[in-house]
């Protein structure tokens, strides 16, 4: 079976205390960056936006 590349790449991660984490993920197909936050009991995912309110795209990371 052929190996498949991961679609989402973790480009930043940091702990925020009490088991919580903030991570920035990049979609390798679209280049759109997302903020993921979890605290052990729940989490949330949202796209990062530029100054004009469009999804932040980083193709060269």
- The pLDDT assigned to 2 comes to 56
3 falls in which pLDDT band (50, 70, 90)?
low
Residue 31: DSSP 8-state: -
Tokens of 54: 């469009």
pLDDT digits (tens, 9 = 90+) for 12-36: 999 998 889 999 999 999 999 999 9
Taking residue 57's Cβ as centre, other Cβ atoms within 10 Å add up to: 15
Query: Helix, strand or coil for residue 17?
Result: strand
Among 27, 21, 22, 23, smallest CA distance to 9 is for: 27
Q: What pTM does this model have?
A: 0.81
| Residue whose token pair is 């990049």 | 26
């Amino acid at each position: 079976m052929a190996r498949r590349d991961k679609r989402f790449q973790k480009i930043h991660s940091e702990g925020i205390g009490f088991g919580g984490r903030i991570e920035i993920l990049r979609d390798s197909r679209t280049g759109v960056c997302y903020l993921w936050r979890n605290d052990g009991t729940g989490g949330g995912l949202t796209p990062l936006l530029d100054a004009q309110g469009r999804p932040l795209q980083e193709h060269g990371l």
